[in-house]
Amino acid sequence: AQSVTQPDIHITVSEGASLELRCNYSYGATPYLFWYVQSPGQGLQLLLKYFSGDTLVQGIKGFEAEFKRSQSSFNLRKPSVHWSDAAEYFCAVGVYNFNKFYFGSGTKLNVKP
Amino acid sequence: DGGITQSPKYLFRKEGQNVTLSCEQNLNHDAMYWYRQDPGQGLRLIYYSQIVNDFQKGDIAEGYSVSREKKESFPLTVTSAQKNPTAFYLCASTSSGGSQPQHFGDGTRLSIL
């Protein structure tokens, strides 16, 4: 069965520090992978997506993610965090041909001044 | 601008009452989804529809109903059978296949009076 695990519920980093949010997935074929960000009381906004090809993908707002098939991971990174990055982040996997998506439980990011 | 519109933003339900949440999209997407979001639980799929006049139950469909009479519209009814309806409800759409990211509305927060 497909599943997505985000092992960190909360993460706090200092402004200007680097960030890595972890995501592990369980899926039998090559996955379609996504990272979304959600501000309080808002919907989800797509940060980046991986379909195939280059395993390092660039997204909006300076985020990037690396697909590692051997580790079933798709971790999100940012070299220098800004206070405006404080939000909740969701990793998701898409099931091709079934139009279904599976989401992790989210990681809430706090940014210290 | 294309997007998804959810209304109302806030909704209150009385005991024994059915309420309907609206979701409209002008992205010409075939697939539409309803998710429920509770703190710490990520997004849980209620119903989804891949085409007009067809829909499937998600993981937590009990106490909810939907219709898909038009491509642009996918309303969700929270029935009196749903004993714990207080949550944030998100509507999403995508073009096809599970390989394209979902677009999300800004959500409806439902509370019990």
**Taking CB atoms and an 8 Å limit, are B90 and A98 in contact across chains?**
no
Residue A39: CA count within 13 A, CB half-sphere: 7
| pLDDT (average), residues A69-89 | 96
Q: What is the pLDDT of residue B1?
A: 66
Alpha helices in A39-102 (DSSP H): none
* pLDDT tier at A11, thresholds 50, 70, 90: very high
Distance CA B37, CA B105 (A): 13
Asked if the C-beta of A44 comes within 8 angstroms of chain B's C-beta atoms, the answer is yes
pLDDT tens-digit map of B44-82: 999 999 999 999 999 999 999 999 999 999 999 999 989
Which residue of A21, A30, A44, A105 is the best one to mutate when testing the B interface, meaning the one whose CB has the most B CBs within 10 A? A44
Nearest CB to A43; choose among B97, B101, B105: B105
Q: What is the pLDDT of residue A29?
A: 76
Q: What is the pLDDT of residue B33?
A: 96
* pLDDT tier at B11, thresholds 50, 70, 90: very high
Q: Do B31 and A99 contact (CB within 8 A), yes or no?
A: yes
Look up tokens 């009381």; give the residue: A41
Question: A61 CA to chain B: closest CA distance, Å?
Answer: 17
Q: What is the pLDDT of residue B108?
A: 97
- Cβ neighbors of A110 (< 8 A, separation 6 or more) are A10, A11, A12, A13, A86
* A-B C-beta contacts closer than 8 Å: 70
- Cβ neighbors of B71 (< 8 A, separation 6 or more) are B28, B29, B30, B52
Asked if the C-beta of A105 comes within 8 angstroms of chain B's C-beta atoms, the answer is yes
